[in-house]
Chains A and B, each alone.
Chain A
Amino acid sequence: LVFTEEDKYDLYSSLLFKYFLAEGIVCGHDLFVASAKEHPDNILKELPAPLLDDTCGKELGDEAAAVKPEDFQDSMKIAWRYQNLPKMEASPTTHTKFGHYYDVSKKMSPELCQSAKWRSFYLHEELSFEPKMKTCNMNSGYARLLQSIQTIISQEGFDGSDPQKKQRNVLRIGIQSLGSILWGDDVCCSDTPEDAHSLTKFLYVLRGLLRKSLSACIITVPSHLIQNKAIMERVTNLSDMVVGLESFIGSERETNPLYKDYHGLVHVHQIPRLNSLICDVSDTKDLAFRLKRKLFTIERLHLPPDLSDTVSRASKQDLAGSAKLLSSGCGAMAMGKKHLDF
Chain B
Amino acid sequence: QGKFTLLRDTRTDGSFLVHHFLSFYLRAGCKVCFVALLQSFSHYNIVAQKLGVSLAAAKERGQLVFLEGLKSCLDLVFGEEEQPGQPSPLQFLSTSDLRALFDFVRVSLTPAEGDSWKGPVLLVDDLSVLLSLGAAPVAVLDFIHYCRVFVCYQLKGNIVVLVHSNEDSEDEENELVVNSLCHHSNLILWAEGLATGFCKDVHGQIKIIKRLSLRQAAEQDLVQIYQYKIQDRNVTFFARGLSAAVL
Interface residues of A (CB under 8 A from B): 133-134, 136-137, 146, 150, 197, 200-201, 204-205, 207-209, 211-212, 228-230, 233-234, 237-238, 273-279, 281, 283, 285, 325, 327
Contact = CB atoms under 8 A, between A and B. Distances in A.
Contacts, number: 108
Given A136-B93, A201-B93, A277 B232 contact: yes
Given A230-B172, A275-B43, A277-B230, A208 B134 contact: no
Contacts of A229: 170-171
Nearest to B172: A230
Interface stretch (B71-79, B148-156, B214-222): B71-79
B132 A234 contact: yes
Interface in B32-48: 38-40, 42-43, 46-47
Given A233-B169, A233-B171, A281-B200, A209 B74 contact: yes
Nearest to B70: A208
Contact of B233 (A205, A230, A277): A277
Interface of B: 13, 15-16, 19, 38-40, 42-43, 46-47, 50, 70-71, 73-74, 76-78, 93-94, 126, 128-129, 131-134, 164, 166, 169-174, 197-200, 203, 230-235
Contacts of A136: 76-77, 93-94, 134
B197 A228 contact: no
30 contacts: A136-B76, A136-B77, A136-B93, A136-B94, A146-B77, A201-B93, A201-B132, A204-B132, A205-B77, A208-B73, A208-B74, A209-B74, A229-B171, A230-B170, A230-B171, A230-B173, A230-B174, A234-B131, A234-B171, A234-B174, A273-B15, A275-B47, A277-B16, A277-B19, A277-B47, A277-B50, A277-B232, A278-B230, A278-B231, A278-B232
Contact of B40 (A211, A276, A278, A281): A211
Contacts of B164: 233, 237
A237 B129 contact: yes
A134 B76 contact: yes
